[in-house]
Structure 1
Amino acid sequence: MEFAVAGVTVNPVLLVLWSVFVGYVYSTVGAAGGILSGVGHITIFGIKNANMVKPMNQVLTLISPVISAPLYLKERRLVVPAAIALGLGGIVGALVGSYLSHTYLPSMDTYRPFFGAITLLIAVKIWLEMLPSNKDKQQSVKKANQAFEEKVKELKAAGRLNELKNIGVQFSHVGIQNEFTFAGETFKFNAVKPFIAGILVAILSAALGVGGGFLLVPFLSSMLGFPMFIVAGTSVLSVLITSATSIMNYIRMGSSLDFMLLSFEVVGVIIGSYLGPTLSKYIKGQYLKIFLAVILTYIGTGYILATFGIKII
């Protein structure tokens, strides 16, 4: 099928299937959705216009939070004050990042290696965090993950999964200083940190044309010390605000969207986004992190090597 605005011919079935994968990964780990969307638009579907790819990636990262965030909220696997702080900072960052990228990274030749380098940098950081020397630094996170996994198995065996929210996020204090419990463990954070992080992450994610989850997940899990079971939900809610701001600014600056192509992709992302939160309860938190690191390593390496004429993706 020909998509005139994007200037490509693609089988609609491929569009849907790839987008199911994008929605599943993004709603499961709270990251990599925009990166996988970019891989699809650039490499699999062959779109050549960098300033079209960026907002179209973000349209897909916008769909997944709309679907998955309410599910995480219902299960109390979402830290709302942290997500709001990230989102408010993200508004500022998205305006700055989209302007800089639209102006200084207008071609695929300049955009793609930048995309690959940042992706690989984050992948390396996540791998380093999983080294044995770093595993003992977050005992409360490990305990919360283990307790949550054990409770899920217990409730599933008893046919009482509807009670899962009783061990979810429970706030004892909300404001600049926040405190909550999850699976019996207590966590604290200062709202200023996610606000500043939201600005910085949004500048880079808007410039890349992605949701920013690939940066938010390491921040939430490593810097704030949140368990992976609540990182995904918190990440996708904050991305909702940031992506919407960036998309509108790209359009304001003249970027075009192929709505026909996006319509097929949206269907796939919706399906994948429903599958993610449901299936992620049965996957260990450490496995989620490893999966994310593998994806980012492969994509980042592939785009950097492509600059030198070596293709692996």
Structure 2
Amino acid sequence: MEFHVAGVTVSPIIIILWMLFVGFVFSTIGAAGGILAGVGHITVFGMKKANIIKPMNQILTLVSPIISTPLYLREKRLVVPAAVALGLGGIVGALIGSWLSHTYLPDMKSYKPLFGLITFVIAGRLWYELTPGFRERQQAIKKATKAFENRVKELKAAGKLNELKEIGVKFTEMGINNTFTFAGETFRYNALSPFIVGALVAIISAALGVGGGFLLVPYLSSMLGFPMFIVAGTSTLSILVSSATSIGNYLRMGSNLDFAMIGFELVGILIGSYLGPTLSKYIKGVYLKGFLAVVLTYIGIGYVFGPMIKAAIGISII
């Protein structure tokens, strides 16, 4: 099938299958959604128009935030002022990043190596997550999360709504300096920090056409010290704001979206996102992360060093 805006001829079945894989991976390990979408557009589908690839990547990264943000809000697992600060910074950063990219990375020759570099960053993060120390910390987080979920279920079953409200995020101070409690613990942060980080992350993600969660999650958990149980919702809302801003600015500057292709892509993403939680029970996460780390490392090498390798030995690796 010919997709005129994207400038490629590709089978809709290939599009759906690749995006099914993207949705499965993202819903299972929570990373690399935008990167894998970009790999699909660049290598699998063969798109050559960089300024169309970037907003189309980000369209697909919006699927999860649109669905999950209301759920996180309802469950009081979202630090709204922090997400707002990240989002406001994200608006500024997305406008800057998309303008810089549209102006200075207009073709695949300039865009592809930088996309390869960010692919390396994601691969490095995945390799780090395979280390024993990180896996031990994740097990502890999972136990704490499970205990929290069980406590919430107990309070709901007992009809103790007042106690249930005390468990969720509750602010006691709001402004430049913010203080909130969650599950009996007190957390403090300065709003300028997430604003600045949100802007910097959005510059990178908008310029390369990715979501940015791979940078926001470590920031919220490691630098601000937020519990992982509220990190996902907080980062998701800010990604929704910055990605939407970036897409809008690309369109304002003349980029187009291939809505026919996006339609098939969304079918694959939704199927994969549904299958992920179901099939992940039968696939160890460490194996999937290992496989993905190898794939992204190979892709990063191909995108960054491919031309040099081809010039040196006459073989194209990707």
TM interval, shorter chain, is: 0.7 to 0.9
Partner of 1:208: 208
- Identity percentage of aligned residues: 66
Paired residues for 1:165-180 under 5 Å: 167-180=167-180
Partner of 2:255: 255
Partner of 1:14: 14
C-alpha distance in 1 between matches for 2:156 and 2:292: 31
C-alpha distance in 2 between matches for 1:58 and 1:99: 15
Paired residues for 1:119-268 under 5 Å: 119-121=119-121, 123-124=123-124, 145-152=142-149, 167-268=167-268
Cα gap change, 1:127 to 1:266, in 2 (>3 Å): same
**Structure showing greater Rg:** 2
- TM-score scaled by structure 1? 0.80
RMSD, matched Cα: 4.1
Contact 2:155 2:164 in 1 (8 A): no
C-alpha distance in 1 between matches for 2:71 and 2:275: 11
The answer to which of 113-122 and 257-266 deviates more is 113-122
Contact 2:173 2:180 in 1 (8 A): yes
Contact 1:213 1:236 in 2 (8 A): yes
Deviations 1:28-50 (A, max 9, x none): 65542211110111111111111
C-alpha distance in 1 between matches for 2:224 and 2:265: 33
Deviations 1:217-266 (A, max 9, x none): 22222222233333222222111111111111111211121110011112
C-alpha distance in 1 between matches for 2:50 and 2:237: 26
Deviations 1:94-133 (A, max 9, x none): 1111111111111112111111113323543675588678
2:41 maps to 1:47: no
Contact 2:32 2:122 in 1 (8 A): no
SS in 2 for 1:188: strand
SS in 2 for 1:308: helix
Partner of 2:102: 102
* CA shift for structure 1 position 300: 3.2
C-alpha distance in 2 between matches for 1:4 and 1:129: 40
SS in 2 for 1:47: coil
* CA shift for structure 1 position 143: 6.2
Paired residue type of 1:209: G
SS in 2 for 1:53: helix
2:88 maps to 1:88: yes
Cα gap change, 1:71 to 1:3, in 2 (>3 Å): same
In structure 1, runs of 5+ residues without a counterpart are none
C-alpha distance in 2 between matches for 1:28 and 1:176: 36
C-alpha distance in 2 between matches for 1:193 and 1:304: 32
Cα gap change, 1:178 to 1:58, in 2 (>3 Å): same
Partner of 2:313: none
Deviations 1:58-102 (A, max 9, x none): 111122211121222233332222211111001111111111111
C-alpha distance in 2 between matches for 1:287 and 1:234: 28
Cα gap change, 1:131 to 1:29, in 2 (>3 Å): closer
* CA shift for structure 1 position 211: 1.7
Contact 2:156 2:164 in 1 (8 A): no
The answer to which of 14-23 and 36-45 deviates more is 14-23
Partner of 2:59: 59
Cα gap change, 1:124 to 1:155, in 2 (>3 Å): same
C-alpha distance in 2 between matches for 1:187 and 1:292: 34
Partner of 1:78: 78
C-alpha distance in 1 between matches for 2:43 and 2:296: 15
C-alpha distance in 2 between matches for 1:51 and 1:91: 19
Cα gap change, 1:184 to 1:221, in 2 (>3 Å): same
C-alpha distance in 2 between matches for 1:84 and 1:52: 28
Partner of 2:36: 36
SS in 2 for 1:17: helix
- TM-score scaled by structure 2? 0.79
C-alpha distance in 2 between matches for 1:186 and 1:275: 37
> How many residues end up aligned between the 2 structures?
308
Deviations 1:183-207 (A, max 9, x none): 4443322211110001111111111
C-alpha distance in 2 between matches for 1:230 and 1:255: 35
In structure 2, runs of 5+ residues without a counterpart are 311-315
